[in-house]
């Protein structure tokens, strides 16, 4: 048996078997026809099965005419197969060319249709091909004697489409992740095998005359089938995996079992600012991290998640979030790892900003809380200046300038030892006109930022932040100072409210002098360390009941108010004036001698006598009786008050409207 005869017999045996296998595979994969490239792969496989069947029929007929007709049918499959294979490659790889030529798909079939028509219409001629019909074991075959010009046009077109499809698959093979490369490798090997076989047959490089191109294509298609079954190609959706990987913003690195990088996506190259060729093959620890505790995640049997710092281009540190996921095959054997890196620089910046804001809030809270702990403006103002200095950070000195009548008039500075240049407030500063704006003054020694401490009703003062040369506040720092100013204003308002309430509790509402509670409070504070020399006056308005009966209580109240006003105006700031009873007043003058006390008592008596009040019965003169005494060394103030009260009774018993003095040594029993 010759080699040609064996080739024909082998073809008759192999072709039906391969056609059956391909048909079964088409039936099984029909449910996946909507996946990328699957439809055209199924069509190509069906055309290949038809090619095998028609080629077998071509050998089995017993006449040249029947053989020629069967060969024409075969060329339907031969002409259409390269087009469907090219379309499969376009769809499967999702090449950018797909969207450009998708609407021109129909034009790809012009050449195959012309070839089919040429084969049917011209048959055995010089334009198509010249053939002979040798017989082997009674079987008629076709032997090509020469090829026509159109045949070469058809062949060139078919080879062009096949090579283009093979190129798209090759590009996808080198661009895709390693986990799906084996399936692509089988496709590439199969197509290349069929292409070489057909090229050898057309160029008559083989010692046989039978064309084994459909057999080689069938073998390549079976290799594709094995790749699909082994790698679960359509279940893994390699196109989706590639698309997701290449379009992710995260860097994706594929490691083998030896912890070497075997693949990286474009985002990974951009993240490290390194070329792919410089990354592939490198140990993961060298490229991604070099800390021992971080390298352990590459050997962990479970998924790991941590923050690391990678070196961009080997130099600049870049904070990243790293996830390391192990990869196992179907048998559970570790195959490698997928590592994803995400740049968290912005996250870290926000985290730092948040921590800074939390720290600033805590500082502001503590500073504000410290202010609200006190209710005395004398205590609050130094705290305001000191806390303002601490919150400012870049300040050289902070100076408080009061603008409220109820607050001390002296400016305060912190640090106290730091000299601040005198600040001349603008003549346009009128707190009573409404809220003042914050502003910045530019001076030769640096900026001065003025922050008013105010609320809707009052402007309490200004904080002047004296900056060093070249320094200025950031917008965030200005917000902190503004918020602190609100807390300071609330603290001062609270202190003034408390002072007003406290003053009201110790003040007589009619005469605006101390009441009995205020008297006791004042004496406790003044004489806490022991009795100091003082003079005590007990003063009683003469005939108040008669005045009330004759002229009314309003006139009597007015008389008491006049007495209270005169007493407050005629004594010193450190002296105490109290309404002791209904028509009685008590005066305590610390450090006053007997002679001085008597002189002051007469002066008060004369000044009160000058006052008159209108009444229906006529003009009324106000008169008072005054009892005066001075204290003994170490004598309790209560004893001195009793003696003054006894002196008052002497004045009243002597006819009223006079001053009576009782010496310190006199007894009150």
Structural domain includes residue 261: yes
Q: What number is the average pLDDT over the span 383-389?
A: 89
- Confidence grade of residue 236 (pLDDT, cut at 50, 70, 90): very low
Question: Region 422-428: what's the mean pLDDT?
Answer: 54
Domain assignment present for 426: no
Q: Where does the pLDDT of residue 243 fall: very low under 50, low under 70, confident under 90, or very high at 90 and above?
A: low
Q: Which long-range contacts (CB under 8 A, 24 or more apart) does 310-316 make?
A: 310/271, 310/272, 310/341, 312/271, 312/272, 312/273, 313/272, 313/273, 313/274, 314/274
The percentage of residues in the chain with a pLDDT greater than 70, rounded to a whole number, is 82
**Order of strands, edge to edge, in the sheet holding 446-454?**
412-414, 395-402, 459-467, 446-454, 439-443
What pLDDT was estimated at residue 22?
86
Question: Are 293 and 215 within one domain?
Answer: no
Q: How far apart are CA 124 and CA 391, in angstroms?
A: 101
Residue ranges with strand state E in 488-569: 534-541
Residue 587 clears pLDDT 80, i.e. is over it: yes
Q: Which among 209, 240, 271 is the end of a domain?
A: 240
| pLDDT score of 645 | 95
Please say if the pLDDT value at position 254 is more than 90: no
Two tokens at 657?
């409207």
Are 371 and 458 contained in the same domain? yes
Quickly count: other Cβ atoms within 10 Å of residue 422's Cβ: 6
Res 249: pLDDT: 79
Q: What is the pLDDT of residues 595-644, one digit of tens each?
A: 999 999 999 999 999 998 888 878 889 999 999 999 988 888 999 999 99
Yes or no: say if 392 and 465 are a contact pair by the CB < 8 Å rule.
yes
Say which residue, 428 or 472, is predicted with more confidence: 472
Backbone torsion region of residue 343, taken as left when φ is above 0, otherwise alpha when ψ lies between -120 and 50, otherwise beta:
beta
Mean pLDDT of 480-493: 89
Highest mean pLDDT among 17-31, 116-130, 452-466: 452-466
Is position 510 within any domain?
Answer: no
Q: Output the average pLDDT for the chain.
A: 81
Q: What is the CATH number of the domain that holds 449?
A: 3.30.450.40
User: 299 or 386: whose pLDDT is higher?
Assistant: 386
* Residue 222 or residue 242, greater confidence: 222
Residue 82: what are its φ and ψ, rounded to 5°? -60, -35
Looking up residue 319, the CATH number of its domain turns out to be 3.30.450.20
* Peptide bond connecting 105 to the previous residue in cis, omega within 30 degrees of 0: no
Model pLDDT, residue 159: 83
Q: Specify the pLDDT at position 540.
A: 95
Residues 493 and 544 in one domain: no
pLDDT of residue 432: 54
Same-domain check for residues 193 and 47? yes
237 pLDDT band, cuts 50/70/90, is very low
Please check whether residues 203 and 298 belong to one and the same domain: no
Please state, as a whole number, how many other Cβ atoms lie within 10 Å of the Cβ of residue 74: 23
436 or 7: which leads in pLDDT: 436
Say if residue 527 is in the same domain as residue 382: no
Least confident of 56-65, 423-432, 523-532, 577-586: 423-432
Report the alpha-carbon distance of residue 577 to residue 532 in Å, rounded.
Answer: 17
pLDDT above 90 coverage of the chain, percent: 19
Query: Residue 178 — very low, low, confident or very high, per pLDDT cuts 50/70/90?
Result: very low
Please say which residue of 198, 222, 240 terminates a domain.
Answer: 240
**Residue 313 and residue 357 share a domain:** no
Closest CA to 71 of 17, 11, 136, 124: 124
Indicate whether 200 pLDDT > 80. no
Residue 151 pLDDT > 90: no
| Residue range 342-364, pLDDT digits in tens | 998 888 888 888 887 788 788 78
609 closest CA partner among 662, 562, 647 = 562
Task: Name the residue among 451, 486, 460, 487 with its Cα closest to residue 406.
Answer: 460
Q: Is the pLDDT confidence value at 585 over 60? A: yes
Residue 485 maps to a domain: yes
Residue 440 belongs to domain spanning: 350-420+432-503
- Please count the other Cβ atoms lying within 10 Å of the Cβ belonging to residue 645: 19
pLDDT (mean) for 199-222 = 76
What is the reported pLDDT for 32? 67
DSSP 593-647: -HHHHHHHHHHHHHHHHT-EE--TTS-EE--EEEEEEEPPTT--HHHHHHHHHHH
Report the DSSP pairing between strands 576-579 and 251-256: unpaired
The predicted structure's pLDDT at residue 527:
83
Per-residue confidence (pLDDT) for residue 250, from 0 to 100: 87
Predicted confidence band at 336 (pLDDT cuts at 50, 70, 90)? confident
11: nearest Cα among 204, 201, 225, 205? 201
Query: Are residue 339 and residue 381 in the same domain, yes or no?
Result: no
Residues 492 and 631 in one domain: no
Residues 231 and 273 placed together within one structural domain of the fold: no
Query: DSSP letters along 151-203, please?
Result: HHHHHHHHHHHHHHHHHHHHHHHHHS-GGGHHHHHHHHHHHHHHHHHHHHHHT
pLDDT at res. 423: 63
Residue 511 lies in a domain: no
Between these two residues, 254 and 101, which has the higher pLDDT value? 254
| pLDDT for the residue numbered 655 | 92
Check: CB of residue 582 under 8 Å from CB of residue 511. no
pTM: 0.49
Q: 190 pLDDT band (50/70/90 cuts)? A: low
Instruction: Report yes or no on 668 lying in a domain.
Output: no
**Residue of higher predicted confidence among 103 and 440:** 440
Structure tokens at 246: 């290449």
Total structural domains within the chain? 4
DSSP code, position 104: G
Is 425 among the domain residues? no
Note whether 602 and 489 are same-domain residues. no
Instruction: Quote the pLDDT of residue 179.
Output: 43
**Highest-confidence segment of 220-229, 486-495, 521-530:** 486-495
Are residues 531 and 635 part of one domain?
yes
Task: Compute CA 265 distance to the chain's CA centroid, rounded to the nearest angstrom.
Answer: 28
Beta bridge partners, 459, equal: 454
What number is the average pLDDT over the span 520-542? 87
- Domain end residue (candidates: 240, 268, 283): 240
* Average pLDDT over every residue of 63-78: 79
If one counts every other C-beta atom within 10 angstroms of the C-beta of residue 379, the result is 12
Supply 290's token pair: 């070099």
Angle at 452 between CA 451 and CA 453, to 5 degrees: 120
Answer whether residue 157 shows pLDDT above 60: yes
- The predicted pLDDT at position 564 comes to 95
pLDDT at 563 > cutoff 90: yes
Highest mean pLDDT among 378-392, 401-415, 573-587: 573-587
Q: Residues with Cβ < 8 Å from 452, sequence gap 6 or more?
A: 435, 436, 437, 438, 459, 461, 462, 463, 485
Question: Does some domain include residue 86?
Answer: yes
Phi then psi for 38, rounded to 5 degrees? -70, -40
What contacts 206, CB < 8 A, 6 or more positions away? 200, 212
CATH at 233 = 1.20.1070
Rg from Cα positions in the chain: 55
């Amino acid at each position: 048996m010759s080699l040609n005869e064996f080739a024909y017999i082998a073809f008759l045996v192999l072709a039906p078997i391969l056609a059956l296998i391909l048909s079964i595979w088409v039936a099984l994969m029909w449910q996946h026809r909507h996946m990328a490239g699957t439809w055209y792969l199924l069509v190509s496989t069906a055309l290949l099965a038809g090619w095998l069947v028609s080629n077998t029929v071509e050998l089995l007929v017993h006449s040249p005419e029947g053989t020629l007709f069967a060969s024409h049918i075969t060329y339907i499959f031969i002409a259409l197969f390269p087009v469907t294979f090219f379309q499969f490659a376009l769809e499967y790889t999702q090449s950018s060319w797909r969207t450009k030529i998708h609407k021109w798909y129909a034009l790809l079939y012009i050449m195959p249709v012309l070839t089919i028509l040429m084969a049917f219409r011209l048959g055995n001629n010089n334009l198509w091909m010249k053939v002979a019909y040798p017989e082997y074991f009674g079987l008629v075959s076709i032997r090509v004697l020469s090829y026509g010009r159109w045949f070469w046009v058809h062949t060139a077109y078919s080879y062009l489409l096949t090579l283009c499809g093979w190129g798209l698959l090759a590009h996808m093979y080198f661009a895709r992740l390693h986990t799906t490369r084996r399936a692509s490798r089988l496709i590439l090997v199969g197509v290349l095998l069929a292409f070489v076989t057909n090229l050898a047959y057309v160029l008559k490089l083989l010692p046989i005359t039978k064309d084994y191109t459909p057999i080689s294509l069938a073998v390549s298609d079976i290799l594709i089938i094995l790749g699909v079954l082994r790698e679960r190609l359509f279940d893994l959706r390699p196109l989706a995996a590639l698309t997701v990987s290449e379009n992710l913003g995260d860097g994706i690195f594929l490691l083998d079992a030896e912890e070497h990088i075997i693949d990286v996506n474009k985002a990974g190259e951009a993240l490290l600012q390194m070329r792919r060729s410089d990354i592939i093959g490198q140990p993961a620890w060298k490229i991604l991290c070099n800390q021992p505790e971080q390298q352990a995640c590459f050997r962990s049997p479970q998924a790991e998640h941590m923050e690391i710092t990678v070196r961009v281009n080997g130099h600049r540190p870049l904070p990243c979030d790293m996830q390391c996921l192990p990869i196992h095959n179907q048998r559970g054997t570790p195959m490698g790892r997928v590592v994803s890196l995400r740049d968290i620089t912005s996250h870290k910046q926000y985290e730092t900003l948040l921590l800074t804001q939390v720290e600033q809030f805590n500082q502001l809270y503590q500073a504000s809380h410290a202010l609200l702990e006190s209710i005395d403006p004398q205590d609050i103002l130094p705290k305001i200046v000191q806390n303002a200095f601490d919150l400012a950070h870049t300040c050289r000195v902070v100076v408080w300038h009061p603008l409220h009548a109820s607050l001390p008039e002296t400016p305060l500075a912190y640090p106290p030892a730091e000299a601040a240049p005198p600040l001349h407030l603008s003549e346009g500063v009128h707190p009573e006109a409404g809220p003042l704006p914050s502003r910045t003054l530019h001076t030769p020694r640096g900026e001065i930022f003025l922050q008013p401490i105010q609320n809707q009703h009052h402007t309490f003062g200004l904080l002047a932040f004296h900056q060093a040369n070249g320094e200025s506040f950031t917008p965030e720092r200005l917000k902190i100072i503004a918020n602190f100013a609100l807390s300071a204003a609330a603290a001062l308002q609270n202190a003034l409210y408390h002072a007003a309430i406290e003053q009201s509790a110790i003040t007589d509402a009619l005469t605006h002098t101390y009441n009995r509670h205020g008297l006791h409070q004042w004496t406790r504070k003044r004489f806490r360390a022991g009795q100091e020399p003082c003079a005590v006056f007990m003063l009683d308005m003469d005939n108040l009941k008669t005045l009330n009966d004759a002229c009314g209580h309003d006139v009597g109240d007015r008389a008491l108010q006049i007495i209270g006003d005169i007493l407050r105006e005629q004594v010193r700031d450190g002296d105490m004036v109290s309404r002791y009873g209904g028509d009685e007043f008590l005066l305590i003058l610390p450090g006053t001698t007997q002679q001085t006390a008597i002189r002051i008592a007469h002066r008060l008596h004369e000044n009160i006598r000058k006052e008159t009040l209108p009444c229906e019965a006529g003009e009324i003169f106000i008169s008072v009786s005054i009892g005066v005494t001075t204290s003994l060394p170490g004598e309790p103030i209560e004893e001195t008050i009793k003696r003054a009260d006894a002196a008052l009774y002497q004045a009243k018993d002597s006819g009223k409207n006079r001053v009576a003095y009782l010496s310190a040594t006199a007894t009150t029993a």
